[in-house]
Structure 1
Amino acid sequence: MVGSLPLQFGWIEYLNLVPQAFFSGLLMGLVYALVAVGLALIWGVADIVNFAYGEYMLIAMYVTLIGANNYGIDPLFMIPVNVVLLFVAGYVTYKLVIKRVMDAPMLSQIFVTFGILLILRFGMLFVMGPDTQSVETFMFDGAVVIAGLNFSLPKIVTGVVSLVTLVVFFLFLNRTKTGKGIRATAQDPEAAQVMGIDPDYMNGLAWGIGSATVGVAGTMVATFFSMQPELTPTTWTLFAFASVALGGFGNILGAVAGGMVISMVEHLGGVLLNPSYKELYIFLVFILVLIYKPEGILNWGEGE
Structure 2
Amino acid sequence: MAQWMNMSGVDGHGFSYIGRFNHEFGRVTGIAATIKGNIVLCDYDKKNLILVDPLGNYLKNLNLDSEPYDVDITSQNIGYVTQPNSRSVLQIDPDNMMVLFQAKCSELGTTVFCVSAVPNTGRCFSKKVPCYLGVKTHGNLYAFPVNHDEINITDIEENGYEIGSCVLKFHTVNADSWLSCIGGQNYITYNEGFDYQIKIDNIATIDTPNDICSDDNDHIYVSGQGSNNIHRLIKYFKLQVGSFETEADYTVLDIPLNSQHGIKEPVALCFNQDYSKFYIVNEWGKSVLVFDVI
Shorter-chain TM-score above 0.5: no
- Taking structure 1 as the reference length, the TM-score comes to 0.23
Greater helix share, 1 or 2?
Answer: 1
Higher Cα radius of gyration:
1
- Taking structure 2 as the reference length, the TM-score comes to 0.24
